[in-house]
Amino acid sequence: MDGATGRILYLDPFAGIAGDMFLGLLLDLGVEDEKLVKEFQHLGVRFDLIVKPVNKNGIAAVHTHVRVPAEGEDEDEEHVCDDTWRHAHEHTHPHRHEREHDHSHDHKHCHEDDHSHEEAVPRGHAMTLDEIMQILDRLEEPTRGKAQRMFLSLVEAEAQVHGSTADSVHLHETGTVDAIVEIVGAVKGLELLGVDHLVCGPVNTGTGFVNMAHGTYPVPAPATAELLKGVPVRMDGFASIRKELVTPTGAVILSQLVDEFAPISMTVERVGYGAGSRDMEIPNVLRGFLGYSEEAAGSKRLMLLESNIDDMNPELYGHIMESLYRNGALDVFFTPIQMKKNRPGTMVSVLGEPHNKAALIEVLMKESTTLGVRVTYPERYEAERRIVDVTTDLGTARVKVATYGGEVVNVSPEYDSCRLLSIQSGVPLKQVYTMVLQATDATLGIEGSMD
């Protein structure tokens, strides 16, 4: 589509969000289940993925449920499923299933004990972060890194609530195997749909109270509330819906995968619905609009991280810059500033894409002496760029050509390429630049060289 900035998925969580709802939405929008199952194979964990069409208040939707066979249960027992949809491998079974289930999507309790990848996962055992990371290590990038960051965020939220550390947390309410499947499915599903930008409207969290392992808590539950920091939410809605509408897995999808919470102008190609398990006054579904943005060509939402520092060894700045670039920063720059008590300081600015926010903030927190990071979301307009090889009397040089609106707006010889020609020929570097620009003009048919 002309002028499109990429494929957009807009979430409308008017009835909240949970991991099973998001996975159902992706399947309803057209994710190829064979490719998704292939990703699940890498996990090496035995489970049944039950997928079925349901109707919620007159809306056709897709519901998913992760079932972990009981210890010692024969995976081919008749009650697992009569109608096999597809087998991922001998221990992972997605099924099409027509029967309704009376389980709820609030909290899942599928747990795994110490086992090889050929064993079933017994329920009742809460997994540690290390155990979960070992399973996710079997995935390939970029799915592995994104899924691991999401689980780290889950565990840190639990630790914050309970006043403990991430290493000591055992996941109960957030589930284990089912949460792993839902998170990996969310990351891989977005990739399979070709989604470049995930946008979300205000999230309905529900109201009331929920019963959990440690007692009765207000909605949203404590860990969920931690994960919803920075997410626009509403807690009003229908007075009769006093229920938990956002689960921890749903909250971590919002906090880690959504690029922007804002209204959006887009051309809709397809509408999908992922179903929860409840029957409520409103349809218990997560709605999604898949299409393309109608923003001007070259427009892109980015993230700007800033931190003011006045007490750090200057030798550390170079290391911090390298670490930020390794973790996805698009640009890093330092600005001299004057801080409180008239002390000279440095403002560290990091430009990056929103999905790298957690990793970049972690670098700033761990590698610098800062106590806080400001986050804003500027909009950047980009020219399209390509590298062209041009031939001169001295040899071949690489040139970066930028176009905007279909017109060449800038031509820039690559420094390293020109410097090599200068060294080899003995011709001054500034003269090499002139020769390369002239050769570029001839190659591209541009009148007058650009600098």
Written as tens digits, the pLDDT of the chain (451 aa) is 333 357 899 999 999 999 999 999 999 999 988 888 889 999 988 888 899 999 999 999 999 998 877 665 554 443 333 333 333 333 444 454 443 333 333 333 333 333 333 344 444 456 788 888 999 999 998 999 999 999 888 888 877 766 666 666 555 434 588 899 999 999 999 999 999 889 999 999 988 887 766 677 788 888 889 899 889 888 865 545 678 899 999 999 999 999 888 877 788 999 999 999 888 889 999 999 999 875 545 566 788 999 999 999 999 999 999 999 999 999 999 999 999 888 999 999 999 988 889 999 999 999 999 999 999 888 777 888 889 999 999 999 999 999 887 788 899 999 999 999 999 999 999 999 999 999 998 888 765 444 4
* Dihedral sign from CA coordinates of 251, 255, 256, 257: positive
From the candidate CATH numbers 3.30.70.1380, 3.90.550.10, 1.10.4080.10, 3.40.50.1240, the one assigned to the domain spanning 302-381: 3.30.70.1380
pLDDT at 287: 97
Contact 397, 389 (CB under 8 A): yes
Report whether 59 contacts 273 (CB < 8 A).
yes
| pLDDT at res. 110 | 33
What are the two backbone dihedrals, phi and then psi, of residue 245, each rounded to the nearest 5 degrees?
-105, -15
Give 5-50 pLDDT, tens digit per residue. Answer: 578 999 999 999 999 999 999 999 999 888 888 899 999 888 888 9
Could you give the angle at which helices 177-193 and 248-257 cross, rounded to 10 degrees?
A: 30
Whether this model's pTM surpasses 0.85: no
- Tokens 């995976």, residue? 75
Q: What is the 3-state secondary structure (H, E, C) of the chain?
A: CCCCCCEEEEEECCCCECHHHHHHHHHHCCCCHHHHHHHHHCCCCCEEEEEEEEEECCEEEEEEEEECCCCCCCCCCCCCCCCECCCCECCEEEEECCCCCCCCCCCCCCCCCCCCCCCCCCCCCCCCHHHHHHHHCCCCCCHHHHHHHHHHHHHHHHHHHHCCCHHHCCCCCCCCHHHHHHHHHHHHHHHHHCCCEEEECCEECCCCEEEECCEEEECCCHHHHHHCCCCCEECCCCCCCCCCCECHHHHHHHHHHCCEECCCCEEEEEEEEEECCCCCCCCCEEEEEEEEECCCCCEEECEEEEEEECCCCCCHHHHHHHHHHHCCCCEEEEEEEECHHHCEEEEEEEEECHHHHHHHHHHHHHHCCCCCCEEECCEEECCEEEEEEEEECCEEEEEEEEEECCEEEEEEECHHHHHHHHHHHCCCHHHHHHHHHHHHHHHHCCCCCCC
Give the start-to-end residue ranges of the domains of the chain. 7-293, 302-381, 384-444
Beta-sheet pairing, 374-376 with 379-381: unpaired
Between β-strands 197-200 and 260-261, what pairing exists: parallel, antiparallel or unpaired? parallel
The C-alpha angle with vertex 362 and arms to 165 and 306, in degrees rounded to 5, equals 135
Q: Closest Cα partner for 436 from 424, 421, 426, 425?
A: 421
Query: What's residue 291's pLDDT?
Result: 92
Rounded CA separation 14/185 (Å): 22
For the segment 308-346, what is each residue's pLDDT rounded down to a tens digit?
999 999 999 999 999 999 999 999 999 999 998 889 999
CB 18 within 8 Å of CB 250: yes
Q: What is the pLDDT of residue 165?
A: 62
One-letter amino acid of 62? V
Q: Within 13 Å of residue 150, how many CA atoms lie on the same side as its CB?
A: 31
- CATH of 384-444, picked from 3.40.50.300, 3.30.565.10, 3.10.20.300, 3.40.470.10, is 3.10.20.300
What is the chain's Cα-based Rg? 26
Q: Is the distance from CB of 13 to CB of 286 less than 8 angstroms?
A: yes
